[in-house]
């Protein structure tokens, strides 16, 4: 056995990292003088870094992923057993965990019917975009090829997923983009674009209809929306928004694609975020929480009606969904996802998420009395945001570096929180909290106590 990989000499690891690793989403110049962060261990809601410092992770692996917490031996065992029996075969064939997880998943999603496996949220969304385009070719005479997306939403990192991205700072310098993606306005009432609207939810949805009419309803095949916008500012929808969005989509025969990459699999206290709002989607995509990061898996879930559109003419050699994701055939993903789902059920984590989410929102709201820098708190379940402002009456956002100073102060205290980052220029000012669904009342209080201290130090 090559033992070099298991060296205890962490300084060699740090040097290897500094010399050869290209970290995600970060400027590397500072690593010439400071050490890159390396996380070496996790248990429950806590992680330890290379220096042995313990942290409470209030963002589930940095990007709201590790829903059931770290160190789950039962998931590791399920994956190990499956890999020894059968690790991989291309997705043109089925697998035992693949079929079983699809069945369990569909049980949680009344109205949905088919599961298509791939490896990342971006890829799951791309599958929908391809399906919509193929439906346009096969069933609408080439019309209905455009896809609507919303300002502030994010759907992934590939060029086409960025084409559906409503966060200009994520997209900047990566164009030109894929044609046929059209933006609709965001629905964040705190940053109201319709100050005179009596019914904000309706006004925000009507803004979508205005775009549809401008583009021509016969050009638009689908709309892709996050149920609660994540990295764009933790935006919960205003009252009545989704009812009206669905009414509009039905009117113009536009398919609804809900991106549950963040909200899916328990994060908001329901299995899926859309289930809070009575949405009847045609497509649902999910990734992060599906296996809590124990294996790479994403799912594109469709209704049977969508699926039928790809098998209506078996004599047409081009008529089925001619797509493959090589690693969508890995069995580790569904094996981990099955055990992940069992844990959520057996440990009552949906109920815990609702209860702990209410505590988190309550604690954050209480901090508003003390810290005028908090302009608004928003959230659903264990997915919360606190928007920081320089002035409550004008709602002027605080400078980005101050929001980052709050995050850095919490980190120094041993609590990892997030902040919207390189999404919308001038509006990277929302603290983000998404602890594992196993969080206890003490964990929640520890998170908000750290934020309380940080706000006091940063804003005085």
Q: Can you tell me the distance from the alpha carbon of 310 to that of 97, in angstroms, rounded to the nearest whole number?
A: 24
Contacts to ligand PLP by CB under 6 A: 63, 120-122, 125, 154-157, 226, 230-231, 259, 261-262, 287
Between 121 and 201, whose beta carbon lies closer to ligand PLP? 121
Q: How far is the CB of 10 from ligand PLP (least distance, A)?
A: 28
Q: Which is nearer to ligand PLP, 334 or 398 (CB)?
A: 334
The nearest distance, CB 317 to ligand PLP, in angstroms, is 31
In terms of CB distance, is 70 or 154 closer to ligand PLP? Answer: 154
Handedness of CA 385, 390, 395, 399 (dihedral sign): negative
The least distance separating ligand PLP from the CB of residue 124, rounded to whole angstroms, comes to 8
Q: Are 367 and 448 in contact (CB under 8 A)?
A: yes
Angle, CA of 30, 169 and 254, to the nearest 5° = 145
Cα distance between residue 19 and residue 446, in whole Å = 36
Q: Which of 71, 73, 80, 67 is nearest to 332 (CA)?
A: 80
To ligand PLP, the closest distance from the beta carbon of 434 in angstroms equals 11
Q: Which is nearer to ligand PLP, 125 or 134 (CB)?
A: 125
Q: Which is nearer to ligand PLP, 209 or 270 (CB)?
A: 270
Q: Which residue is nearest to ligand PLP (CB)?
A: 121
Residue 185: half-sphere exposure toward Cβ, Cα within 13 Å: 20
154 versus 181: smaller Cβ distance to ligand PLP: 154
Taking the alpha carbons of 251, 254, 255, 257 in that order, is the dihedral positive or negative? negative
Nearest-approach distance from CB 428 to ligand PLP, in angstroms: 15
CB of 244 to ligand PLP, least distance (A): 22
Residue in 170, 179, 165, 292 with CA at minimum distance from that of residue 229: 165
Minimum distance from residue 122 beta carbon to ligand PLP (Å) = 3
CB of 187 to ligand PLP, least distance (A): 15
CB of 431 to ligand PLP, least distance (A): 16
Q: Is 278 exposed, middle or buried (CB count within 10 Å of its CB: 0-12, 13-18, 19+)?
A: exposed
Residue number with CB closer to ligand PLP (145 or 383): 383
Give the nearest distance from C-beta 30 to ligand PLP in angstroms.
23
Map residue 121 onto helix, strand or coil: helix
Closest to 379 measured CA to CA, from 191, 200, 165, 233? 233
Residue 184 · residue 150 · CB < 8 Å: yes
Closest to ligand PLP by CB, 297 vs 454, is 297
Among residues 157 and 354, whose Cβ is nearest to ligand PLP? 157
Q: Within 10 Å of residue 186's Cβ, how many Cβ atoms?
A: 20
Q: Give Cα separations from 364 to 143, 226, 379 (angstroms).
A: 48, 23, 11
Strand 39-43 and strand 46-49: pairing?
antiparallel
Distances (CA, A) of 26 to 21, 36, 215, 416, 450: 12, 10, 37, 16, 24
State whether residue 397 is helix, strand or coil: strand
Closest CB to ligand PLP among residues 60, 122: 122
């Amino acid at each position: 056995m090559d033992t070099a990989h298991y060296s205890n000499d962490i300084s060699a690891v740090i040097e290897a990292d500094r010399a050869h690793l290209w970290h995600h989403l970060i400027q590397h110049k500072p690593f010439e003088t400071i050490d890159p962060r390396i996380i070496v261990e996790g248990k429950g809601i806590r992680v330890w870094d290379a220096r042995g410092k313990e942290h409470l992770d209030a963002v589930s692996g940095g990007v709201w992923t590790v829903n059931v917490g770290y160190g789950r031996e039962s998931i590791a065992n399920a994956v190990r057993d499956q890999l020894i029996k059968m690790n991989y075969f291309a997705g043109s064939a089925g697998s035992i965990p693949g079929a079983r997880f699809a069945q369990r998943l569909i049980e949680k999603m009344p109205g949905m019917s088919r599961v298509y496996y791939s490896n990342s949220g971006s890829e799951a969304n791309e599958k929908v975009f391809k399906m919509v385009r193929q439906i346009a070719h096969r069933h609408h005479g080439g019309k209905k090829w455009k896809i609507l997306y919303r300002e502030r939403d994010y759907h992934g990192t590939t060029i086409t997923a960025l084409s559906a991205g409503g966060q200009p700072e994520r997209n900047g310098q990566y164009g030109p983009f894929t044609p046929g993606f059209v933006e609709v306005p965001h629905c964040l009432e705190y940053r109201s674009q319709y100050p005179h609207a009596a019914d904000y939810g309706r006004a925000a949805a009507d803004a979508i209809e205005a775009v549809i009419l401008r583009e021509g309803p016969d050009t638009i095949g689908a709309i892709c929306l996050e149920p609660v916008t994540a990295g764009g500012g933790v935006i919960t929808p205003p009252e009545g928004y989704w009812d009206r969005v669905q009414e509009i989509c039905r009117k113009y025969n536009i398919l609804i694609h809900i991106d549950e990459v963040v909200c899916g699999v328990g994060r908001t206290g329901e299995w899926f975020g859309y289930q809070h709002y009575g949405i009847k989607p045609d497509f649902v995509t999910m990734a992060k929480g599906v296996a809590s990061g124990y294996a790479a898996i994403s799912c594109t879930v469709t209704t049977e009606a969508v699926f039928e559109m790809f098998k209506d003419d078996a004599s047409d050699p081009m008529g089925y969904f001619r797509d493959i994701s090589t690693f969508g055939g890995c069995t580790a993903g569904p094996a981990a996802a099955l055990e992940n789902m069992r844990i959520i059920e057996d440990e009552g984590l949906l109920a815990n998420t609702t209860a702990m989410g209410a505590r988190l929102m309550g604690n954050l709201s209480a901090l508003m009395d003390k810290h005028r820098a908090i302009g608004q708190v928003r959230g659903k379940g264990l997915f919360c945001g606190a928007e920081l402002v320089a002035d409550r009456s004008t709602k002027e956002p605080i400078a980005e570096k101050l929001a980052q100073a709050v995050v850095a102060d919490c980190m120094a205290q041993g609590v990892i929180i997030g902040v919207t980052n390189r999404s919308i220029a001038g509006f990277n000012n929302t603290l983000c909290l998404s602890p594992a669904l196993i969080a206890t009342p003490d964990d929640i209080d520890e998170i908000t106590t750290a934020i309380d201290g940080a706000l006091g130090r940063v804003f005085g």
